[in-house]
Structure 1
Amino acid sequence: MSDPQTMIDRLNAMHTFPGPFLFKVIGENEPTFVSRVVQAAVNAIGGDADVDVETRESGKGKHIAVTLSAQVQSPQMVLDVYELLRAVQGVRFMM
């Protein structure tokens, strides 16, 4: 992974902050996965965060894709969200 400053520079070049940001997480389709993903994002953004959630199951139902849309204040906040998402049990891939 790139150093944090490089990631911040890239995020600043590609997005306007503050503003909306999409997080995509794919993981095991089990009963509490989506709620754990949402809670991780809310913990990073702040307790009053308004996070829109969309989900889609894989064809065989083994995995689920979770798309989160949230208002973020800075590129550091994006990195903070990803850091907490990485720790969620069952995560297989993030974008």
Structure 2
Amino acid sequence: MKNRIDDLIEFPTQYIFKIIGINTQTFKDNVIQLFHNKKNKTIKFNLSRSNKYLSVTVEVEILDKEELLETYDKIKKIEGITYFL
């Protein structure tokens, strides 16, 4: 995967993360906390029809491949996560 990233993405880049999880304040707070130190970011929230799930779209500048991989590793550890892209 690491070599493929180099072929597909030119860094730095504006990158979009899509994170879906159980609609809890903890999940929402953990996603916000993950990106709190990033300057140029946009975070959008969308509830499922049943209000059970929360979809979070984060657009943020990623400086290099290492930062991208580290961010995905941190996303995987978020409590309540069900899916991410």
Q: State TM-score, norm by structure 1.
A: 0.80
Q: In the alignment, which residue of structure 2 is the partner of 1:34?
A: 28
Total equivalences in the alignment? 85
Q: In the alignment, which residue of structure 2 is the partner of 1:3?
A: none
Tell me the CA shift for residue 48 of structure 1. 4.5
Q: In the alignment, which residue of structure 1 is the partner of 2:17?
A: 23
Q: In the alignment, which residue of structure 1 is the partner of 2:76?
A: 86
Residues 25/65 of structure 1: CA separation in 2 closer, same or farther (3 Å cut): same
Asked if residue 51 in structure 1 is aligned to residue 41 in structure 2, the reply is: yes
Q: State TM-score, norm by structure 2.
A: 0.88
Pairwise CA RMSD? 1.4
Specify every segment of 5 or more residues in structure 2 that has no aligned partner in the other structure, as ranges: none
Identity among equivalent pairs (%): 24
Specify every segment of 5 or more residues in structure 1 that has no aligned partner in the other structure, as ranges: 1-6
Residues 37/28 of structure 1: CA separation in 2 closer, same or farther (3 Å cut): same
Residues 62/48 of structure 1: CA separation in 2 closer, same or farther (3 Å cut): closer
Moved over 2 A (4+): 47-51
